Amino acid sequence: MDCPYCGYPDSKVIDSRDVNEGIRRRRQCLSCGARFTTYERMQPASLFVVKKDGRREEFSRDKLLIGIRRACEKRPLPTGTVDKVVDDIEAELYHLGKPEIPSAVIGDMVMERLKSLDYIAYIRFASVYRDFADITALKREIDTLVSDETKISHPTSQLPLLPDEELGKVAKVRKRSRK
Ligand SMILES: [Zn+2]
């Protein structure tokens, strides 16, 4: 690693520590004495995704990120949520230790996570990924979500399909129009 300040090719390590499955090294240039940090990370073995039609494609973190980001667009999720979901899935995929993963497995992992985060993002992702044959199939999925919602109170992180205040507004309007 060349010194980023003077370009000298040699440096000494003055500190190193493990961070997030990698090593962080604090280095000092042997020529100008400047200090800089390098990160060393294991290069994971390449992972292939097997698509529905049998084609193989190298796993792309970016593609996964784009798909999830699209589903979460304009949803009130905390900053970094999408990246966290992608990180989790990526880690889980490499952890499986298989050279090939069916795209359906990845899709299910995404759906499972989105379902616990935000129903709208989940339905958006599902409608693309599951390719709902018709509106009835989509409605069935939404009905399942709604009945889940009434069975167990939704987790604190989950946004309701219709916020209570909006339901209140609707009720008020109805009352008023009846007079
Ligand atoms: Zn230097």
Three-class DSSP category at 74: coil
Residue 171 has pLDDT above 70, yes or no: no
Residue 11 Cα to ligand 1 middle (Å): 8
Average pLDDT over residues 41-50: 80
Q: What are residue 132's phi and psi, to 5 degrees? A: -50, 125
Residue 154 Cα to ligand 1 middle (Å): 56
> With 0-12 CB in 10 A as exposed, 13-18 as middle and 19+ as buried, what is 120?
middle
Residue 107 has pLDDT above 70, yes or no: yes
Residue 35 Cα to ligand 1 middle (Å): 8
Residue 3 Cα to ligand 1 middle (Å): 5
Report percent pLDDT > 70 for the chain: 80
Q: What is the pLDDT of residue 132?
A: 67
Residue 95 Cα to ligand 1 middle (Å): 39
Element (H, E) at 101: strand 100-102
Residue 2 Cα to ligand 1 middle (Å): 8
Q: What is the dihedral of CA 70, 160, 168, 177, to 10 degrees?
A: 50
Q: What is the mean pLDDT of the chain?
A: 82
pLDDT tens string 109-162: 999 999 999 999 998 998 887 766 677 777 888 888 888 776 654 455 555 555
Residue 9 Cα to ligand 1 middle (Å): 8
